[in-house]
Structure 1
Amino acid sequence: MLVLGIESSCDETGVALVRAADQGIPRLLSHALHSQVDMHQAYGGVVPELASRDHIRRLLPLARQVFDAAGCGLSEVDVIAYTRGPGLAGALLVGAGGACALAASLGKPVLGIHHLEGHLLSPFLSVDPPQFPFVALLVSGGHTQLMRVDGVGAYELLGETVDDAAGEAFDKSAKLLGLGYPGGPQLSRLAEFGDPSTFDLPRPLLHSGTLDFSFAGLKTAVWTQVRKLGTNVCEQDRAHLAAATQAAIVEVLLKKSLAALKQTGLKRLVVAGGVGANRSLREQLDLACGKRGIRVHYPELALCTDNGAMIALAAAMRLQAGRSRAVRDYAFDVKPRWELAAV
């Protein structure tokens, strides 16, 4: 079974080909990705209309690139998968419309996939794939969630953010520090030159007794410190504040993840999503989990951000598990808001 995956939920256009058998982990044949970071930098964030227009321009050239790299022909595709949600409505419509139009022209079935399920399953494409069951820490864009995962499509929500997500805390704090877009990676790079103990920032909901997250208060605390430092803040103080911000976010993610593992009794953790590429988070999770005999799994760094490979993989795994059925109904819709636990 050859699955073509299309991702267009936000500011990255991703296309990939995955081959799957009746059993075993599907194999990634090729993938291509175009990031819109350069285009959105001038605006300090994603402009939805520009994102949608760029997806239209990039989708077919990326598809051609993927088929050329895999040495496959379009007629060999068995299923076309696309991101149905959550995400920006206009951006999702480009991917869904393109997938369904292509499938209709070929007479092939289509399957809409949950964006976060793609992230959750993406470590199965790594050199060290996990095994079910496991706890998943999903830290992607506006989403921060802890899930118990017993199999494909068997997801139990353990905790989630009640306001800002971890990715938003990184990006918004970076903007307060005068860093460019995307802010998260830039804040992390600046943090390497700072001392996190210089500023005492809060760890919201850390001792709440729940597995929920809250990062809005942290953002406010960063804003307060920036105001205290004034307009002539030196680069070293900015680095210290960046380090303190990152330390606060990482500590909350770490301790909530450990609490979820203790609550469930599971000994395997999957970390997925863009924030999952953060080096400090990986180092501290590896250290803490190693002491407790817990295995930690991550996607390959190239697959941490949004990409078509995770969408093709999720479709293949759902079809293998009998959790979904691809259909030849090309009247598509999208779900900008869509709970993963309801999939």
Structure 2
Amino acid sequence: MLQNTGKLAGYTVFITGASRGIGKAIALKAARDGANVVIAAKTADPHPKLPGTIYTAAAEIEAAGGKALPCIVDVRDEKQINDAVGKAVEKFGGIDILVNNASAINLTGTLETPMKKVDLMLGINLRGTYLTSKLCIPHLLKSKNPHILNLSPPLNLNPIWFKNHTAYTMAKYGMSMCVLGMAEEFKGSIAVNALWPKTGNDFPASLVQACLIGFGAEICRTVALQEQGDHAGVWYIDLKNDAGSAGSGEPPVKADVVMTLDSSDFIKMFGGKLKPTMAFMSGKLKIKGDMGLAMKLDKMMGMIKPKL
């Protein structure tokens, strides 16, 4: 677990869908670092099957050391978002970080997916992310260190990610396209990134903390690769210190990101037969540390000519 640094103290984080799950985990981690947290979610009354409301989440955030503002928000409703943004600015003086976490999921095929579900996913995932970003951006532009973080996957047009649930993939990729477009549109003014956890159950809240507190920090480039299986071992790439180095065994300095995978997949990845992004999304590659740095590995691998 990443230690709390206090770098989020005084910053205001606006999180959609923060009454439970990943959204609340992000909120609590930010709260422990001293952030003001706006809980923008629909659940105001207890759900018969799902625990947590915006008010119970607010109580947990306050207990964790942060300041909370619970707001009833359906991200499909422009007025509700506008009202929440206004309340956040009035209470905390502005918005520094937006986390677009609210999402709807329905993993069914085209014939099995009712249009009501399609509209829900497109309305929350795509339209809701775009709309919430649009309404927060004027305030983010006034922040000294503004960020938008979308919980969405890497854009990958391999049919495998579409064939079983086209509607859901379209909706989630819409969130990713918001990242792609807004990152370029507001380049130099707002940092816009995506984070795609493997599952909700094993989601590392510290990873989000790293994304949020990493702004303004030194760019780190030390990567450790841990190989498991028949030929277990550790290899490292150090592009940060002196002239750089690479080798086997523990790295000479603490690694900024650690990647773990099976020995057979290790060989495939370095042989150009397995892309790091595909390995990560399929669960073959596990990553701890600087996710932004880890994602650059895919580009680096593309520059390596297979020799295996």
Query: Normalising by structure 1, what TM-score?
Result: 0.27
Query: Normalising by structure 2, what TM-score?
Result: 0.30
| Greater relative contact order, per chain length (Cα 8 Å cut-off, separation 6+) | 1
More helix by share: 1
